[in-house]
């Protein structure tokens, strides 16, 4: 049976500096060709303070903790049997290299389908920058297969 | 970038095809994205978990699909972006990102386009489907 007692649990907040080298590495890994994501001059000409973090990068920031899967294994999830079900971003303002982003994540819901064969865990996260401004919100659905 | 103001519901977005995904792609994305789940890079772990081989991170395809949006508009115009992950993306899959306009709305004083977007492989299997809202 699904343990719903953990709904509402908050993960310890994680504060991560957004590093220009990692943004360039992410751009390389994703075959990015838009210079705004790799060239600081192009980024500044486009009106950014420095290289912008691309739209999905905040998810990577949320994994920048010593043991990123602990929040899943603490719930009894098996890393070999979990799948990313859904991911949502709602944007407020850009994240750029040089920012320090703090992410606070809550297990906001958990439920099962198909008689328990599939369990769904919904994590809601808020990301704020070093000025205390909310930069975006994320919703992450993790699915655990049983059997 | 294209003039978005002329786009209307039903219009297709310019597609984007990425190179086939290799083990190197997954190794790079593992490091670059901070997603160190061994299921994506360690074949021994993947087999132990009952898979034939490693497979791609869902967030890799989501990053590809984001590039469909950022080739269309500056990312500061993206209000929201979400996807539902479908089937697993395997090694050597070639992802094509495509989409169309489904609605044009006025919200919070902005003219916005609602986009339905998808990433499919070379066989036409849908890997993820999503929705994005961008402002003009």
Average pLDDT per 10 consecutive residues for chain B, totaling 136 residues: 86 97 98 93 94 96 98 97 96 98 95 98 97 97
Q: What is the pLDDT along chain A (147 residues), one digit of tens a residue?
A: 677 888 999 988 999 999 999 999 999 999 999 999 999 999 999 999 999 999 999 999 999 988 888 888 888 888 778 889 999 999 999 999 999 999 999 999 999 998 888 999 999 999 999 999 999 999 999 999 885
B80 shares contact with chain A (CB less than 8 Å): yes
Question: Does the ipTM exceed 0.90?
Answer: yes
Relative orientation angle of helices B23-33 and A20-29, to the nearest 10 degrees: 160
A25 shares contact with chain B (CB less than 8 Å): yes
Mark yes or no for CB contact B82/A91 under 8 Å: no
* Residue B2, pLDDT score: 66
Residues, chain A, total?
147
Mark yes or no for CB contact B85/A84 under 8 Å: yes
Distance CA A12, CA A18 (A): 19
* Residue A142, pLDDT score: 94
Counted across chains A and B, CB pairs separated by less than 8 A come out at 111
Closest by CA position to A87, among listed B101, B81, B40? B81
Mark yes or no for CB contact A26/B33 under 8 Å: yes
Distance CA A121, CA A109 (A): 6
Which residues in chain B have Cβ-Cβ distances shorter than 8 Å to A80? 39, 45, 48-50
A61 shares contact with chain B (CB less than 8 Å): yes
* Residue A115, pLDDT score: 86
Torsion angle of the four alpha carbons B71, B97, B29, A77, in this order, in degrees rounded to the nearest 10 = 130
CB atoms within 10 A of CB B46: 18
Sign for the pseudo-dihedral over CA of A62, A63, A64, A69: positive
Closest CA in chain B for residue A137: B80
* Residue A99, pLDDT score: 98
* Residue A3, pLDDT score: 79
Mutate to test the interface with A, among B18, B36, B37, B134 (most CBs of A within 10 A): B37
pTM: 0.95
A57 CB-near residues (< 8 Å, 6+ apart)? A23, A26, A95
Distance CA B18, CA B6 (A): 27
Closest CA in chain A for residue B27: A29
Mark yes or no for CB contact A64/B34 under 8 Å: yes
**Residue among B29, B71, B78 minimizing CB distance to A29:** B29
């Amino acid at each position: 049976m699904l343990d719903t007692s953990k709904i509402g649990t908050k993960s310890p907040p994680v504060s991560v500096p957004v590093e220009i080298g990692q943004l360039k590495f992410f751009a390389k890994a994703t075959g990015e060709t838009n210079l705004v994501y790799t060239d600081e001059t192009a980024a500044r000409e486009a009106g950014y303070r420095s290289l912008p973090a691309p739209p999905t990068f905040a998810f990577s920031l949320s994994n920048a903790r010593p043991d990123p899967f602990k929040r899943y294994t603490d719930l009894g999830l098996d890393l070999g049997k979990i799948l990313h079900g859904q991911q949502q971003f709602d944007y407020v303002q850009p994240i750029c290299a040089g920012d320090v982003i703090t992410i606070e994540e809550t297990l906001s819901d958990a439920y099962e389908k198909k008689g328990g064969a599939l369990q769904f865990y919904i994590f809601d996260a808020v990301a704020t920058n070093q000025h205390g401004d909310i930069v975006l919100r994320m919703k992450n659905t993790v699915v655990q297969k049983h059997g | 970038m294209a003039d978005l103001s002329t786009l209307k519901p039903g219009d297709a977005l310019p597609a984007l095809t990425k190179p086939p995904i290799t083990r190197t792609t997954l190794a790079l994305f593992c490091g670059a994205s901070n997603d160190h789940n061994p299921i994506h890079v360690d074949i021994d772990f993947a087999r132990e978990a009952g898979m034939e081989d490693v497979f791609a991170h869902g967030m890799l395809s989501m990053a590809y699909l984001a590039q469909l949006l950022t080739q269309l508009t500056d990312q500061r115009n993206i209000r929201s972006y979400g996807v539902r992950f479908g089937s697993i993306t395997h090694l050597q899959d070639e992802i094509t990102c495509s989409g169309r306009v489904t609605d044009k709305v006025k919200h919070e004083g902005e003219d916005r386009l609602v986009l339905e977007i998808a990433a499919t492989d070379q066989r036409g299997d849908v890997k993820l489907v999503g929705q994005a809202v961008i402002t003009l």
